[in-house]
Amino acid sequence: MEAINHSQESLPTPPKGLAILAMLGPSMVWCAEYIGSGEVILATRTGAILGTSVLWAVVIGIFLKYWIGMSGGRYTVCTGEGMIDMFARIPGPAHWVVWIVLAVQFIAAIMSIGSLTVSAGAFIHSMIPIGPHWVAGWAVALFALLVVWSGIFDVLKIVMSIFVLIIILGVIYVAIHVLPGFQVLLENLRLPVPSVPAWALDLQGVSSNPWNEVLPLIGWGAGGFASQVFYSYWVLGAGYGAAAGRGYGKSAYLPMLKNMELDQAHKIKGWCKVLYVDATLAFVIGITATCAFLVAGAGILRPGHMAPLGKEVAFTLSNIFAQNWGSTGALLFKLAGAAALTSTLIGILAGWPRMLADAFRICIPGFNQKFTWKIQFRMFLLFFLATNIAIVYWLGEMPVFMVRLSAVVDGILLTPLQAIWVAVGLFVVMPKLLSQQAYQILKPGRIFAIGLLAAFLVFGYFCVFHLPMFLS
């Protein structure tokens, strides 16, 4: 059956022109997933402390990770398998990269999902103060689970698109009231690293080293390691190119790839163009939303010398906005924050079970033989629901240090490794999977090598010269 389902004739014809817009979808899930605590909490607070002079950090962080995510998505379009399966094919000891991912991401998933549930619940509780705070956390966790339970991509795409619209409208409405001049914004893209103002040094959690504020902002821009892996799943769900009809929990169908003919390769190349548009849309939305959160913090909190911790960042900003510009914007900002955190929770609940199920399938073959993919996916979902219930009830408040630490470890430390692994996947692994004539058409251009190399060098620089000081 697989030979029939994944024959060359089954590859769909790519859309052209304006028809491409109708096929966009992975970008909505991707950016809705990575616009979360890093934007609502970290970007707003960093703007309050350092002002708009660190807008360059947002642009650099998201731009470089855009190349990692898009490169991984391109591999999926050409081969029909996700990024974890790509990692499994990297030369060296059997599945060594996947074992590293499994060990690190299993712990990261528990911490990140739990802290996001706490934070999202706090936002919901602030607008609908019914019962204890943990009730709202449990409610949002259950809502997220129901959205992703089926594993169907179209459901996820529709829900996340709605959340993206709420985020963009809410945060831009607030930011536009305090937006500095266009000339000022351009000047803030010149890579200045401002000193921490004296008033901020008296606040809890603020260091005299400005990089302690900048690194988490860069690390959480466009999400961390996991977010780039997740994008390959959304491409699989959308069925771009060789991913058409593949579904989840499968490695590439090698006979089809090895015997791929020229006309099929040209079809897939057309789908690569759809991917470029889709990924670029996520990049633009991510830049816009993150910069808007930072501008809101700089324009509303900074003049009053305020940089609260945790969810109080957004609550304080909303109260000040209501006093000066009306309650509508304050409510919209809270809605934007709640939407960003809830959509991120939905995205990572949809992504991490897929990643862990793939890692288990590759590293522990017996697990895959005993359980179908859907059962594996739902087992991890229920596991995370249980950990969420415990964390929300016992933790109560989201510790900011967890968000900041996750940002630099998952978004800074692992990023240069991911850039190299994806480059190996594109330029070493993929040529071995495709027929020679197909690879001549589908081989990635030098721009992908340049983008991935830049991500490796820049994030590697941060790891060597700034991360040790942050962790000390």
4 pLDDT above the threshold of 50: no
Supply the pLDDT for residue 275.
97
Q: pLDDT by residue (tens digit) across 294-343?
A: 999 999 999 999 988 766 777 788 888 888 888 888 888 888 888 888 88
Check pLDDT > 70 for residue 216. Answer: yes
Pick the more confident residue, 191 or 307: 307
Q: DSSP string of 254-266?
A: HHHHHT--HHHHH
Top pLDDT among 248 and 123 is at 248
- pLDDT of 97: 97
Confidence at residue 204, expressed as pLDDT on a 0 to 100 scale? 76
- Range with top average pLDDT, 35-44, 217-226, 283-292, 324-333: 283-292
Nearest CA among 351, 454, 467, 298 for reference residue 34: 351
**Is the model more confident about 401 or about 337?**
337
Banded model confidence at residue 395, pLDDT cuts 50, 70, 90: low
Dump pLDDT digits (tens) for 345-380. Answer: 888 888 999 999 999 999 998 888 888 888 988 999
Kindly report the backbone phi and psi dihedral angles of residue 457, in degrees, each rounded to the nearest multiple of 5, phi listed first: -70, -45
Question: Does residue 60 surpass a pLDDT of 60?
Answer: yes
Answer yes or no: is pLDDT of 7 > 60: no
Reported as a single tens digit per residue, the pLDDT across 106-165 is 877 887 777 778 778 877 877 787 777 778 888 888 888 888 887 777 788 888 888 888
With CA atoms as reference, report the closest residue to 401 among 448, 305, 316, 470: 470
Distances (CA, A) of 243 to 12, 71, 272, 390, 443: 10, 15, 11, 37, 17
Percent of the chain with pLDDT over 90: 42
433 contacts: CB under 8 Å, gap ≥ 6: 79, 89, 252, 254, 257, 258
| Region 84-88 average pLDDT | 97
Question: Can you tell me which residue has the tokens 């299993």?
Answer: 106
The residue ranking higher by pLDDT, 409 or 413, is 413
Output the DSSP codes for 9-61: GGSPPPP-TTHHHHT--HHHHHHHHHSSHIIIIIIHHHHHHHGGGGHHHHHHH
Give the residue among 235, 224, 223, 219 at the shortest CA–CA distance from 354. Answer: 235
How many domains are there within the chain?
Answer: 1
Encode burial over 419-448: b for 16+ CB neighbours within 10 A, e otherwise: bbbbbbbbeebbeebbbeebbebbebeeeb
Type of residue at 332 = L
pLDDT reading at 8 higher than 50: no
Q: Which residues contact 16 (CB under 8 A, 6 or more apart)?
A: 270
Place of tokens 């999400």: 223
- Token output for 435: 């027929």
Which residue in the block uniquely carries the two structure tokens 């390959």? 232
**Greater pLDDT, 34 or 361:** 361
Q: Quote the pLDDT of residue 420.
A: 97
pLDDT given at position 1: 36
- Are the CB atoms for 44 and 400 separated by under 8 Å? no
The predicted model gives 391-415 an average pLDDT of 65
Which of 339, 468, 328 has its CA nearest to residue 31? 339
pLDDT at 116: 76
pLDDT of residue 166: 86
Instruction: Give the span between the Cα atoms of 332 and 370, in whole angstroms.
Output: 48
pTM of the model as a whole = 0.90
| Separation between Cα atoms, residue 378 and residue 5, nearest integer Å | 25
The answer to whether 294 and 58 have CB atoms below 8 angstroms apart is yes
Cα torsion 285, 286, 287, 289: sign = positive
**In Å, what is the CA distance from 144 to each residue of 235, 339, 439?**
21, 12, 40
CB atoms within 10 A of CB 143: 15
Q: Per mean pLDDT, which of 39-48, 185-194, 455-464 is the most reliable? A: 455-464
Q: Which domain holds residue 342?
A: 2-471
Distance CA 369, CA 29 (A): 30
Q: Say which CATH number the domain at 77 has.
A: 1.10.4160
Contact 300, 321 (CB under 8 A): yes
| Residue scoring higher pLDDT (435 or 409) | 435
Q: What is the pLDDT of residue 5?
A: 45
